[in-house]
Amino acid sequence: MKGGLRLIIVALIVTGFYAWFGNSIPQSAWEAPKKKLLTADMTPRQLSTEGKEIFRKAGCGVCHSVTGGQLRGPDLSRIGSERDAEIMAAILYSGTDVMPAANKPPANLNDAEITAVVAYMQSLGGRPKVKIGDIKVEDYDGR
């Protein structure tokens, strides 16, 4: 056999093997991260734990420190003892000139997620008290 032909055959076997091997690896489909289910039976403490994560993902921490220190917005490390849930919810749903409403893009949180964030904020210098169902957009929108 000529050297050139042997090389081609070897090359075909090698590429064939890799094609077979590559296709034999199960494909793991890409999936968007699943949203945590927030349910009415969760305790305010459990909601607060989820709310902390939502607060982080929603980018609230870009403007708000929770450990003291001024960013673009006020520090929230004592917010739980300074404001009640209604005030927090009102500002989250309405936003301000300088703060985007939390239920609209970019954060785009739903009522349950906002309730969880409020529970988390209540835990900062205070104690989480709200449960799912306590806070709804109809109660606060348009103020």
Question: Applying CB under 6 A, which of residues 38, 42, 47, 60 lies at the interface with ligand HEC?
Answer: 60
Q: Which of residues 97-126 bind ligand HEC (CB under 6 A)?
A: 97-100, 102, 107, 117, 121
d(CA 123, CA 85): 11
Stretch that binds ligand HEC, among 12-20, 38-46, 71-79, 122-130 (CB under 6 A): 71-79
Question: Applying CB under 6 A, which of residues 25, 32, 40, 62 lies at the interface with ligand HEC?
Answer: 62
Q: Which two tokens stand for residue 142?
A: 């348009």
Contact 134, 51 (CB under 8 A): no
Minimum distance from residue 24 beta carbon to ligand HEC (Å)? 46
70 is an interface residue for ligand HEC by CB under 6 A? no
Question: Applying CB under 6 A, which of residues 46, 49, 65, 74 lies at the interface with ligand HEC?
Answer: 74
Q: Which of 104, 126, 125, 123 minimizes the C-alpha distance to 113?
A: 104
CB atoms inside a 10 Å sphere around CB 74: 14
DSSP codes joined into one string, 36-80 = PP--TTS-HHHHHHHHHHHHHHTTGGGT--SSS---SS---TTHH
Contact positions vs ligand HEC (CB under 6 A): 55, 58-60, 62-64, 72-74, 79, 83, 88, 91-92, 96-100, 102, 107, 117, 121
